[in-house]
Structure 1
Amino acid sequence: MLYPGKEVIYPGEGFARGIHLLFLTLSQAQRGTVKPQSGFNANNDAQVLFKAMKGMGTDEATILQLVTSRSNAQRQQIKAAYKILHGKDLVSDLKSELGEKFETLIVGLMATPVMFDVTSLRNAIKGKGTDANALIEILASRTPNEIREIIKTYKEEYGRSLEGDVTGDTSGHFERMLVMLLQASRQQGVQEGTIQSDAQALFDAGEKKFGTDEDQFISILGNRSAEHLRRVFDAYLKLSGFQIEESIQKETSGDLKEVLLAVVKCARSVPVYLAECLYKSMKGTGTDDATLIRIMVSRSEIDLLDIRAEFRKMFATSLHNMIKNDTTGDYSKALLLLCAGDDA
């Protein structure tokens, strides 16, 4: 799905293409849990938020109820109205009044979708260490159009090349695969004539030889469309007797293994992949709040209903219940409002 609010023009394409994209976007938007509020009034909402933060104390309940029940486009209008009415930046005021994980979640919801991804990527690579999980999750699950918009906005916001920052923070085959994803130049559709040869090439690069030809995995998984890859995976299973995920697990390791598995899983189903990421963020001791917030915010208007449904199929609990059991306070309340239902 394209980032909301971004107009994409397809030169030379006709009216039918535009109608198709419109219906595609609308159908995808219906799989989000957050919808535009009917009877929306940006000025009224700006006033409500101002009153919730002025004086002694903060009305967190009002803030979380309002922010989680408006679409991102409506939140941008509220920010503009707040600036006009009060001469202050709404996000700055929210940061001064809120704290910790609850602040991170609410501030994330106030960013545009592309800026939220851009900021998440910047945070993943700046300073000491690299959050490889964030790089993998975002770059593997976003569409080519979204990747191009991220690259453009990253340059505008930071005056730096995203690819340059990624290559400066990673190395080896992992770096190569991330750079491949940043090219956002996957082939379109299914190339019938190369399904068998791609499956054979993957087999020859891994199961059939001593050692692994990682470059072959990177080239095929990074260049082919999701639809084409699904056909290749079927052919690979018939040829080798293994699912492609099994071979990647055996033939690769570390961050390269994780990014290749993410690409395969996203080719099969982005909601299934993200449901698994959410589960991993909360299972065991401690919670990976960065991942939990990142997915809940970024998918709330895209496919969170599908992620919820897949989560319930895959695990012995619902997303709602796991969030409820793993988080607390206003942070938990806001996440549960974004979840918008229990599939128990």
Structure 2
Amino acid sequence: MNGWQSIYFHDEDEIMDERRGYYPSNSVPNPIFGMSDAVRQKSGYEHVHPITNEPFEYTLSEFQYGDYRLKYLTAKIPVDDKIYQSIWCKYEPYSRKPQLGRGIEGMVLQQFETSRPKKPDPERYGVYTHVPGMAEFVKKYESWPFKEVWLEYDALMQERFGEFYTPLLPGTRKQQILSVFDAFDAEPIEDFVVLYELCGGNDDDFWLDSIEEHGCAYAHIGGNPLMKLSEIESEVKYAGKDVRSEYPHQSLPAGYVKNNRMLSNRIPIHHDGGGNFIAIDLDPDMRGTYGQIITVDHEYEEQVVLAGSLKEYITILYYFLKELGVIDNGEGYEGDRPLSSYINPQ
């Protein structure tokens, strides 16, 4: 896409909506609320249609932002019986004069990096950190190796649920684990590799049998099973690389998740049996982070970023269980309310 990233694509009537709206930072110029600051505008700029990938005409707007030139493409696009607002963005540095002297160059580069638009801290997506005590708990485990976080979480699961704890299957060889990344020619997520070396996912047969016999079972993804590696391999085999969705999806928060088709460039770690997943995102949008954890739903257009990484997501689930007693049990939930109700996209 020559550096262009889609940051918003949704019904234009909902651009101010609390959940689906476009809310750029007040400090960053933008084409919707800051046109008076544009240094250049040009209509008829050809770019790709966000669904069909065919050529489509946009309005180009350019803004100065520190040492950068921010460029936006905007267009209103018919989708079924609605009009969608499409916004693409990229930034390019202004030309800089050659610098003499290593020390001076270092100072200039430091200023250059300081003025560069920064991606948000991946620990601050906000979908869960509004929960009292969550941010502090996540921060406590930031420096811990993933293996230690997982083992501590697993130990609490075993201690709390006893005979209703869903066991983990034996771990897998590293070469087999890496094959799921090879399907997308993607860099491996080390914590995912460590996880599946430790275990092969939850024993979902035990989980189902326990629910049928006792009315409850507890597994590791918020009470639901961690997928077996064989299931993951099957899903990624047919997911396809860089496949755009034929239907528009809305990233929550905006600008984090690309409009890819279902599991294209994504590795699932949980499925609900109905075609919906929680997955590791290997192709994030401009504001997202490689390896972020997202929801993938075939019925709803929202794709929610649950955490900035696999370790952060497991830490969040650990917090809900340890501090709030919130977990699904196969037939419902335990705690004050279900885990899903705590999601608060910003």
Q: TM-score range by the shorter chain?
A: under 0.3
Higher strand share: 2
Higher helix share: 1
Q: TM-score, normalised by structure 1?
A: 0.27
